A and B are shown apart, each in its own frame.
Chain A
Amino acid sequence: MTTTKTIPFGMTIAPYAATSLARRRVLRSIATAGAVALTLGAPGLAAQADDTIKIGILLPLSGNFAPNGQQALTGMKMYFDEIGNTAAGHKLELIVEDTQGKPDVGVTKARKEVERDGAQVLTGVVSSGVALAVNDYSRENKVPLVLSGDAGADELTMPGPLTNPYLIRTSQNGRSVSAPAADWAYKKGWRKVTIIGSDYAGGVDTNHAFAQAFCALGGKVIQEQWPPIGTSDFGPYLTNLDRTADAVVTFEPGADGLRFGQQFSEFGLKGKLPVLDIYGTIVYEPNLPQLGDGALGIYSSLFYAAMLKTPENDRFVAELKKRTGNLPSNEGPNGYTGARAIADAITAVKGDLTDTMKFMAALKAVKFPSPKGDLSLDKYGQVIQSMFIREVQKVDGQLANVPIATYANIDQFWPFTEAEFAEYKYSYKELKGSLTDCGKLLAKK
């Protein structure tokens, strides 16, 4: 169903969620009933008969996030095909299940893959909601979980109540994409920005990270607006935009981004206010041809750019284009990278996954050049990778996000250290409505 585009936080979002509630309920009860029947029908753990290693893939392959899930799956399969579906002499078997982007379905499918099919690693996800639910399952049952879809909720990999030694995340976390954008904006000479963000946890988290980093440098947010997810007409918000700002900073995942981009130029704002699109939600690749020249000049920040010229990315883009006919957006490279992390770790432990902690250590030690750039992991299992500032330009007559600045080795706390980050008094949840108040954003405990 719905969607999408870049849904970094991939929460059960809305254009879809609220309105198709009834449908979801019906589907959910059917799905749950079916899954319960399955698990009941196959008691006990499946024995690991041969030396095949089973990888349980959990992705939204139907429903609103289907396009994201499909591209992540394509990315994963591309890497596993590249290595002939073997690692350390063991055959790798992929078990693919559809989470529909729903937390309860996600857990049911995780349980099915592990307890019935004998999967030894879980990977994929996309929606933060599903990630939080499967994280609990992984922690309780000591099953390694490699988040390689968006699923950007910061809390998953930061010290705190959700800490899970059996988790790594190779996609990204919410704040790491926005903090470098703030740095770039400040260096560009912008001092006052107006913010528009989707009104949900992911939107607040993302914009808060921008505002905090921007304040720390000496900039200021002069206006914040929070349209509900699924806003169809941005007219009122665009008319209200403070024209004295140097730029407008946006985070509008899903169909909202497409509408925002279209209506922004429709209202004659293009050329008057530059746009910095965190996560590239407006300039998501499938949107570009639809926005046409109205998209030219929009800046965005993301951990990937299809136009990146590296040997890894050239090869990746060519193969993905061959398989799907399209340029990759963000989930393809994420899926591909997660697959490689798993395969590398399996090789490091010589295919013996019986010692889960040893396998987790191997996962956290992976380090390789990916289509997204060089990456490694921190001690919490969160990826440290490059961030790109891109600008929409015409390349060979086609609109594309061309990288114009690169921030290498961005970790989840950047630009702060972990200790500095822990010092701040308020979490993003308490700061919606206060992003214009630098004093509060930077208040220490």
Chain B
Amino acid sequence: MKNREVFLTDLALITCIVQRGLGDEIVIAAREAGALGATINYARGTGIRERLGFLGVAVEVEKEVLNIVVATEQVDIVFSSISLAGKLDTPGMGFMYVTPLEKASTYIPPTVVEKLEERG
């Protein structure tokens, strides 16, 4: 079996939007819960500062958007870990959602592919 024909299934994407600067802490928690990797990018959104305003001018709030791909069996534990680490139950801290993935593909070491072949 060629590596290029191996697809990963049963995956989900956790997207978490938090205040800028909190991303690393959340990624650490996600990795400790079993997530392998993450991507982090910046965005602007609505937050406490915008609500309060500054000298009568609404301020857009800088956010960090985290995308973490995990196996579906790990979604709940990673989701909970992120929620705790990011204190997402506190108003204004952030929110997250899970998107089911149909399939994924990446480099898979030949030894793993061989094991998969043996299992059929």
Q: Do A and B come from one complex?
A: no
A residues sitting closer than 8 Å to B (CB atoms) are none
B residues sitting closer than 8 Å to A (CB atoms) are none
